[in-house]
Structures are given as C-alpha cells and as structure tokens.
Chain A
Amino acid sequence: MNTVVLLTCTGLGLGALYFLIASGLSLIFGLMDVLNFAHGALLSIGAYAAWWAATDGGLGFWPAVPFGVLVGTAASVLLELALIRPLYARPRDQILATVGVGLALPALITGVWGSDARPFPQPAALSGTVDLLGAAVPVNRFVLIAAALAVLLLLRLFLARTRYGLIVRAGVEDRAMVTALGIDVRRAFTLVFAIGGAAASLGGALAGLYFGSVNPSQGTGLLVFAFVVVVMGGMGSVTGAAVASVGVGLVQQFANYYTAAGLGDLSVVVLLAVLLLVKPRGLTGRLA
C-alpha cells in the first residue's frame, strides 16, 4: 500500500512535469503545425536560470522560480520572433530551425556550466516528506502537482474567456479562416510561444526540485515523453494533454517499478507509435 501511494504521487508529479512541457507544445503544434524541438531546451533555460538565481544570484528559491520563468518566456518569444516567424512560408524549415536551437542551447549551457548535474537548492519548506496513508511522500511532488493544476486552470480560463484565447481555439481549427476574418494570427503565434515557454521554464525550475539537480540534457530527455503526451491528448488540446500526462506519468512509474527498469519508458514510447498508427488523426485534435 505504501509503495502504491508513493508511486502514485511520484507518477502524478512526473505527469505534472510532462503537462508543463506538453501543454505549450500542444498549443504551438495545434495552432502553428510546428513541432517544437527546442521546447526541451526552453525547459533547460528555465531550470538553469532558476538555479543560477537561487545560487550565484543569491535570490533564494522563491524569487528564483519566477525569475526562471521570466527568462524562459523571453527566450521563447525571441525564438518565435527571430527564428520561426521568418519561416512561416516554409513549415519544414521551421521544424529544422527548432532542431538546431534544440542542439545549440543545451551545448551552450554545457559550455557555461559544464555537463555535470548541479545540485538544485531545496528550500526547507519543500525538502521534507508528508505522511500520506502511511507513505512518506516528498513535498515537492505536491508542489509540482499544484503548479500543473494552476497552469491548467489558467490556460483554460485564457482559452475560454479572452479574445486571444478565442483566436487560438479558432486557429487550431482553421488558421487561414482566422486571417480571413481580419485577424493578424501571427500575434497569437507569438503569444502561444510565450505561454509555452513560460510553462516549460516553470517545469524546468520545478524539475530541479523534483530531480534534486539540473543538467543540460534534462529538457531534451523529457521532450520525447512530452511528445507522447501531446499525441495522446490530441494536438492542440490542453485538457487532453492534462489527462494524457497523468496517464503517462503513472504508467511509467508503475511499469518501471513492478517490471524491469526501463520497461515503463519503453512501453510509453511504443504507445506513441501505436497511437499514431491506430489513430493518425490524433495529430489533428481539437481544443477542450
């Protein structure tokens, strides 16, 4: 029982992390058809910015997280404006550009801070465990889950209640028609990149908490699993991404624990292939 509770909480925490990456990825793909291979690098930027602010920057953990989010968001907006926007007429080249950024940024981080994992400062309030149904669950799991829930709620409010949310939902269905109503859909592109960058870098800062350390390839490693979540949840669907995140996180944790190590990861990746093959339309989902 203890183990089940612990695995569930850890799986949910991991799922929360996936959601923070996948929600933005899903919106970006849904609206722009850009599979953002640089999204993992954005997570790493958020993670290292937060780590730097909390250690060398001397800000302490709590201000360091928003600092990381700010830097990650700025990087994401810059990426869209400088590298993605000039390539709107060349969709494949947009993906290639993100591949290049996804390679270059972690390398730059390695150049500055080295390739070894750096311990992430754990604030006292979050370093302990909570007794839940007899299991000692690390507090940071709950922090991640709460953060993911908050992001989910904010995203749903944004999509349902704001004009730009409306534009994004319409653009996921038919981007050309949105422009044919006199709307400059490129602003929505920049906006979803900002949202995606913010969520991913928040995920990065909290991943430092979850894993206890940051390393340059962390984001890229998580990216593949985020792809699984995006496809499972339906491209462009935030709620779908949330449900799929939970599913993938739990499956991975339980399978890794109860079967051979690595089998959970393997099954999730194979699941991606199977899903795409069985339901190729999973790539053209709807917003909910």
Chain B
Amino acid sequence: MSLLTVRDLRVVIDGLHILHGVDLDVAATGVTALLGRNGAGKTTTVKAVMGLVPRTGTVTFDGTDIGRLPTHRVVRRGIGYAPEDRGVFAHLSVAENLRLAERDPHPAYDLVHELFPELERRRGQPAGTLSGGQQQMVAIARTLLNGNRLIIADEPTKGLAPKIVTEVADVLARAAETVPVLLVEQNLALVRRVAGHCAVLADGRTAHQGDARALLADEDAARRLLGVGAHRPAAPAAPEGGPR
C-alpha cells in the first residue's frame, strides 16, 4: 500500500522536456529512496510533486489527487519538504525560519530542540551565517514542526562533512519511525542504512522500482542504473539540470 502514487509525471520547462513519464510509489512506512545519476530528474520529480514546476500526470496522496493543487495546498495536506538547496531564508533568524513553517496550533518545538539543540542556542542568528549542516538542520526541523504525513528530503547530506552526514542520517532514521520519508540521495551508504523501498530514475523516466538493499547488493544492476559501484562517487555532485 503506497502513500504517494505518481503516474506518468511529465515536466516541460521553457520548451525543454525534463521528465518524460515518471512513476513512483512511496511506501506508507519507512524511507523510500529516489535514486539516479545527476540530471536524471530526481529534483524535478519532487518539485513537480510539490507543485513548484508546471506538471502533467497524476499525483495521488493518501487516496486524493494532489496533481493540480498549488504548492501551499499540497503542503497543507501534510507533506513537509526540505528542498535540495535547503531553502533557508538567509536574512531571517533561525527562530523566524522555524516560525514561518508553523502550521499546527502546537508546533513540535520539543522534538526539534531535542534533535537539534544547536538550533535553540542559535535561535537569534541569521540563518545565512549558519554552516551548511546547521542550515540543513533548519530545513529538516521545519518539516518536523508540524504533524506531517510525509516528509520529502532532497539530498539532505549534499556537501556536508561525514560527521554531520551521520547526524542527519540519524535524524532521518528517527523521523522515519513515525512518518514516511521520501529521500533523494546520492550517498548510497546512507541509502543502504535507512531506505527500504527505492525508485531509480534515468533520463527523466523511471528505470527501476524495488527493494533498496536488493538493488545495492546487485553490483551489475547498481552500476547499470546508478553508474557507480555501491559507494558514493568521488567527484562532488554537480547541480541538476532543472531550474531552482
């Protein structure tokens, strides 16, 4: 039983076809990983689900069609979104960044402060002056403040130091105990650790869906679909083709 079902998702931006028909099922529990090489359309797919880019196709969330809803109403259905570039408001303070995300009458600040004690200490600091890892914490914290039914995190560990990657992974694993997570990730070690189900995109289409660990254990399939052995590529990730 999947919580989010995407069928034949297509995106055209400025005359460029970016997605040619993506199918995606996000499991109702645990972490679903969205994988693929750079430029395969992972970020565009999650943006299209969020309604941040013009899209066609069907997107069903918990039985209702959200494929035509504007972004803010998609979010209000209970989807928390931590975008690829973290989407932190650099000139606002940490507290203001969090306050902006409040939707529930009683936002879960206890949880956020327990997971990220640093954010509480730095609440008055402009978010733009935070380190990359701290900014990512702000982005994830914003999704945890409300009682979301799905969290979408787009490359939350990109560009982070290994120690911080572990920290973020811990938080995602902990969050996934109570709320399903759709995780776009290049770090396959992390995927192996947290993900159950996975989908692989190639050239704007779904190339594979199935069990994440099974895929990563199959060296041939992993190399064919992801272009790598089952470890993170050495070169730093280039930005994807889609617009910000």
Give me the interface of A with B, judged by CB distance under 8 Å: 163, 166-167, 169-170, 173-174, 176-185, 286-287
Contact = CB atoms under 8 A, between A and B. Distances in A.
B89 A170 contact: yes
CB-based closest 10 A-B pairs: A182-B75, A179-B71, A177-B87, A179-B72, A181-B101, A170-B89, A184-B72, A182-B76, A173-B89, A180-B81
B70 A178 contact: no
Nearest to B148: A182
A189 to B, nearest CB: 13
Contact of A177 (B70, B89, B91, B103): B89
Nearest to B143: A181
A173 B97 CA distance: 12
A174 B72 CA distance: 14
A174 B90 CA distance: 10
Contacts of B103: 182
Given A176-B71, A180-B52, A183-B72, A167 B100 contact: yes
B83 A180 contact: yes
Nearest to B101: A181
Contacts of B83: 177, 180
B228 interface: no
Nearest to A182: B75
Given A166-B92, A169-B92, A181-B100, 4 more contacts: A170-B100, A180-B50, A181-B75, A181-B142
Given A180-B50, A180-B87, A185 B72 contact: yes
B174 interface: no
A170 B81 CA distance: 16
A170 B102 CA distance: 14
Contacts of A173: 89-92
Interface in B45-90: 50, 52, 70-72, 75-76, 81, 83, 87, 89-90
Contact of B70 (A166, A179, A286): A179
Contacts of B142: 181
B232 to A, nearest CB: 27
- Which bucket holds chain B's interface residue count? 20 to 34
Contacts of B100: 166-167, 170, 178, 181, 183
B96 interface: yes
Contacts of B70: 179, 184
B223 interface: no
A174 B81 CA distance: 15
A286 B127 CA distance: 14
A174 B91 CA distance: 11
Contacts of A184: 70, 72
Contacts of B113: none
Contacts of A179: 52, 70-72, 75
B99 interface: yes
24 contacts: A166-B96, A166-B99, A169-B92, A170-B96, A170-B100, A173-B90, A176-B52, A177-B87, A177-B89, A179-B52, A179-B70, A180-B50, A180-B81, A180-B87, A181-B72, A181-B75, A181-B101, A182-B72, A182-B101, A182-B103, A182-B146, A183-B72, A184-B72, A286-B91
Nearest to A288: B91
A287 B52 contact: no
A178 B70 CA distance: 12
Contacts of B76: 182
Contacts of B146: 182
Contacts of A185: 72
